[in-house]
Amino acid sequence: MNTQPSKQLISPSQSFPFPEEGKAEIFPVGDIRTEAGGVVWDARIAVQRWGELRRDTDGSTNIILVEHALTGDSDAVNWWNGLIGPGLSLDTDRYCVMCTNALGGCSGTTGPSSPHPDGRPWGSRFPALSIRDLVTAERQLLDVLGISKVTAVVGGSMGGARTLEWILMHPERVGAAAILAVSARASAWQIGIQSAQISAITNDPEWLNGEYHSTSGYPRQGLAAARRIAHLTYRGEQEIDERFGTDAQDGENPLGVFRDPGQRFAVQSYLDHQARKLVERFDAGSYVVLTEALNRHDIGRGRGGLNKALSEIQVPTLVAGVDTDILYPYHQQEHISRNVGNLLGMAKIVSPVGHDAFLTETRQVARVFRRFLLLATGANPA
């Protein structure tokens, strides 16, 4: 690598605490006042980073802030595998890649399963969040860390929604933005299918109005049902069909004399597996809060409408989408690109995978990021 650092190197301990490379740390960021008028008292935000932080005298940094999707976390090298590291498209020899766990989450950041200041879990007392509130929390973390400006914010799906709000709420703090597989606001279809997921959880008898954290129960069945529905919106129907078709699960017979939930088609077993994996790692309350935040996603709210908001974006912005995405169809990214005030470029990820292609099509996403950083910073591609 022929990287000539143009920014001063600040060691983690020199002027402010900064997490050790790859290690999650949790910072208190104070109270967070939500867009709707609620408060998350004494919030904590989990953060990870890879690559050394460099900071200019004007307070700008070499940080690329990565925004995770609905059930993601701060461990971006895990879920955006192959994109972050030395010599990779988000090159940690050059950039400090940083990722926080979203407010409302369950991987270190304050969410419904976290202790309220009174010691009991937040549960149903946790306020409803908007995408803007997730950005507010992250902005408060940057304040705590003394980071005045980042080189770029990048994200897909809910991470893309947060990236859009970043460049509208705090344009002076973002050098450039890359927005993948998202829309400028929730569509009615998204609200519908997301609300179906919320209902699946809140109809589970063990949900207990969101107060299950203090009990031995857990709305496992409801969260599993939500994830099965969600997964079908994350995947292209042709990709799923090529893999499973009408195959029976090994050793099961879904064509018996009576319907039997233990006798499944292969695709049902696959969805059950996806659901089980999520139930083991994710809190149902966080799933509800963050899904509700997606329902409330609308960059036009209070800004004179969608296209006016988009037209006022002056941060250089690259937009990318997936041709087979049924959750955030490609025309939604085209809509952003047509109306955004400062368009760096538009990219189409071509894949049978559907929405999840922004996570799985590593080579194509890497090309998008290299082009993005080249256009945004003028730096030679790694």
Count other Cβ atoms within 10 Å, centred on residue 224: 21
Give the alpha-carbon dihedral of 165, 166, 170, 171, to 10 degrees.
-100
* Given the residues 286, 325, 335, 337, the one annotated as active site: 325
Which is nearest to 96 in space by CA: 56, 55, 135, 49? 49
Contact present, 46 and 100 (Cβ < 8 Å): yes
Among the residue ranges 135-143, 156-164, 253-261, 308-316, the one whose residues contact a copy of itself (CB under 8 A): 253-261
Classify burial at 194, counting beta carbons within 10 Å of its beta carbon; exposed 0-12, middle 13-18, buried 19 or more: buried
Query: CA-to-CA distance for 128 and 40, rounded, in angstroms?
Result: 10
Residue 202 host element (H or E) = helix 188-202
Q: Does residue 339 touch a copy of itself according to CB under 8 A?
A: no
Among the residue ranges 137-145, 173-181, 195-203, 362-370, the one whose residues contact a copy of itself (CB under 8 A): 195-203
User: Between vectors from CA 317 to CA 315 and to CA 320, what angle results, nearest 5°?
Assistant: 165
Residue window 200-219: x/- pattern of binding to a copy of itself, with contact defined by CB under 8 A: x-xxxx--------------
Among the residue ranges 8-16, 79-87, 138-146, 221-229, the one whose residues contact a copy of itself (CB under 8 A): 221-229
Annotation marks residue 170 as catalytic: no
Size of the site for a copy of itself (CB under 8 A): 63
Applying CB under 8 A, which of residues 26, 144, 169, 326 lies at the interface with a copy of itself?
326
Q: Does residue 34 touch a copy of itself according to CB under 8 A?
A: yes
Q: Does residue 68 touch a copy of itself according to CB under 8 A?
A: no
Shortest Å, Cβ 78 to a copy of itself: 26
Q: How many CA atoms lie within 13 A of 310 on its CB side?
A: 21
Query: CA-to-CA distance for 109 and 45, rounded, in angstroms?
Result: 4
Q: Which amino acid, residue 341?
A: G
> Where on the chain is the footprint of a copy of itself (CB under 8 A)?
34-38, 124, 127-128, 130, 185-189, 191-193, 195-196, 198-200, 202-205, 221-222, 225, 228-229, 231-232, 235, 237-238, 240-241, 243-246, 254-259, 261, 265-268, 271, 288-289, 292, 295-296, 298, 326, 329, 331
Residues designated as active site: 157, 325, 355
